[in-house]
A and B are shown apart, each in its own frame.
Chain A
Amino acid sequence: MAEKFLFTSEPARDGNPYMSVAVSGETFRLNSNYRPLAEADTWAAGQQLAETGAIVLLFGVGNGYFLRALLKRLPQDAAVIAYEPSEELFRFVQSRYELGDLLSDRRLTLLTESIFRKQIYALLDRSIHWSNAKKQSVCIHPQYDRIFPEQLAFFEELIRANNIRVYTNRNTEMHFGRSIASNVALNMRYVPEAGTLSALVGRFPPGASAILVAAGPSLDKNVDELKKAEGRAFIIAVDTSLRTLHAHGVKPDAAVMIDADIRQKYFTDTDFADIPLFAQIQANHEIMRLHTTRKIWFDSHAYLKQYYHEIGRDMRDYHGGASVATAAFSVCAALGFRRIILIGQDLSYHGDVTHAGGETMAIQAEEENLCYVDGTDGGKVKTRHDWLQYLRWYERVVQETAGEIDVIDATEGGALIRGTRLMTLSEAIEKYCTVPVDFAALLRENLRTLSGEERKSLAKYLHRGILEAEKIRKLSQELCVLLDRESIALERTDARRADQYCSERSAWLRGRIAERNALIADCSVYPLVDDAIKQVSIPAITEMLETEGTEKERCRVLISANRRLYRAMAEAAGELGEKLHYAM
């Protein structure tokens, strides 16, 4: 039963109202009953906030005093995400206190309980990036830790998980950026014959189920059952499960591939070449070359998206999560399936085995990130940080789509995904795979390739990309020359006037870089170049953001970091130009 709250608002000694909350026989005063506004100012002054670009995550709005004091302290470039865990409290406050100034403050996004869980993930995704993650501050409204301990634990866990996501993404961008850029450029040659997922949305027969085959160890247990579902459900398999499926004589309706560096061994001895493929264009180009039938883009790189935009075709992003299985789930959800049956989705070890077929695939720093979670059998199972991230993603999406999508976990082992229904695959097929699905016919009827005119415009687009890559190469080289000159001038500067010189020169230099950068960023091929240099640009930008010290030291970092960045950009632009030639 929900706890009953009693709210009161009374005048404090200084005449301003203060607020109290009574719950479970205890009363909590949210403000000082002497001078509540002065208390809020002192509280706000004590919060550790970044001087520029601060992002404040506030737990609890109360009667607005603390939030107002916080906003008073923050500059205009700050952002505050405030979460009020009690709808009742917020309604009471709205009826007693003036909040108009807060609600109209453009720095503030206020989420009350009813919308929090639906919006917070997208909001954090938009607001926090590796370049500003260190500017976050978490503030807790006085007494909220005592009144709402469970919601606070959830809020803090959410922020922790988001930070892991942010830094994982940064590492992924750094690690795969170069391969992604190269794959996109080389895979552009497949665009004329490929289609997009949008063309298939809502085309499946009503009541049809999707079976998502992941490659966890439990797949070995029930893979043979899958044959019974052929033609009775849409069977979509992640790339790493194809060998197991092939070994058991199961041919899925479609496969999913997203990885930029996925290894070839997963595709040997499989039917991969002639299974329709839902893919990201940044997926490994060597594997893409082995694939000879229909490719369907379900989430696209900005470079391809720009082309589709120019020819007026819909290219929405449907990708979710960070694994190929979560991407496959998003594909099924976007296609309109109202029932998705998961198999091989262990998200945990089986002994030391990580994948079907008794395979063990290690990841970096695996030993440091092991933990135990609830299993489907009622006990505990061992998992690792990447699977835990996917598990939380599933739980969130299952919760968000409750009532719209029925998710059945027929893995028959592994970690418990809260919100799913547990069932054996045999039972799930018997009960829910009753509507015939002919995916090959569906593709034939609905998937549109490029028309003659569109193919010509693609050739022009690629040609423009080649010219733009050359332009970026030249502009970057010019900036390198300029930065070299500035570096020499800086070292020759008289030590007595170094600070003044550096201050003026840094401002001038930033202006020149911004000017050239605007020309570079305006090119449609720029997103590719940007990806290609992540391994250099991320550390360089981090160094510029984090360097402290004298004007001269900061100026030296500005020059050296930009020098590394633009040298990498010149090289990458040259290479990408050549790869786009190949795509033509």
Chain B
Amino acid sequence: MGEIMDLKQAVQKLSEAIGKTTELFYTQREAEGYRAFGELLEPMAGLLDSLFSVKASQGKPEFDEKELVRLLTEAVNAMEAKDSVLLADILQYDFLDRMEQIAGQLE
């Protein structure tokens, strides 16, 4: 139970951090945005690891692991193409959306 609550809090925290990062991209503060995104990578990877491990041990929450990996690959591609708005869109509307769906299952 404690593990699931921790996960829920981690999703919420990440959601706030992603919101702040995407705002930087949407307002053309790209250097700050990429810096903030760089700082997000570790917590994002940590959260995904935790989700995968909780799912493996408890059978929930349900989510498409491949799709999450695909989204992250798209985000990295957008970053490499220096398309900061696409990167923000993927984080804000795809990745965060999935995270919130997953968090909903942790109620």
Binding site for B on A (CB under 8 A): 13, 29, 31-35, 39, 42-43, 45-47, 140, 142
Contacts and interface: CB of A to CB of B under 8 A. Distances in A.
B36 to A, nearest CB: 14
Nearest to A14: B93
Interface stretch (B8-16, B52-60, B64-72, B81-89): B81-89
Given A42-B23, A46-B23, A32 B89 contact: yes
5 contacts: A29-B85, A42-B23, A46-B23, A47-B27, A142-B28
Given A34-B93, A35-B93, A29 B26 contact: no
B44 to A, nearest CB: 19
Given A34-B93, A46-B23, A39 B85 contact: yes
B89 A46 contact: no
Given A34-B93, A35-B93, A46 B86 contact: no
B87 to A, nearest CB: 11
A43 B93 contact: no
Contact of A34 (B23, B29, B83, B89): B89
Given A46-B23, A140-B28, A29 B83 contact: yes
A142 B22 CA distance: 14
A8 to B, nearest CB: 16
A10 to B, nearest CB: 14
Nearest to B28: A142
Contacts of A46: 23, 26-29
Contact of A43 (B28, B83, B89, B92): B28
Interface residues of B, number: 13
A378 B89 CA distance: 51
Interface of B: 22-23, 26-29, 83, 85-86, 88-89, 92-93
Contacts, number: 37
B89 A33 contact: yes
A125 B107 CA distance: 62
Nearest to B82: A146
B28 A33 contact: no
Contacts of B85: 29, 31-32, 39, 142
Nearest to B29: A46
Contacts of B93: 13, 34-35
A282 B25 CA distance: 53
Contacts of B23: 42, 46
A31 B92 CA distance: 15
A47 B27 CA distance: 7
Nearest to B23: A42
A264 to B, nearest CB: 56
Nearest to B84: A142
A33 B28 CA distance: 16
Contacts of A39: 26, 85, 89
Nearest to A34: B89
Contacts of B92: 34
Nearest to A44: B27
A39 B27 CA distance: 9
Contacts of A42: 22-23, 26-27
Contacts of B27: 42-43, 45-47
Nearest to B24: A46
Contacts of B89: 32-35, 39
Given A32-B88, A42-B23, A46-B26, 19 more contacts: A13-B93, A29-B83, A29-B85, A29-B86, A32-B26, A32-B86, A34-B92, A35-B93, A39-B89, A42-B22, A42-B27, A43-B27, A43-B28, A45-B27, A46-B27, A46-B28, A47-B27, A140-B28, A142-B85
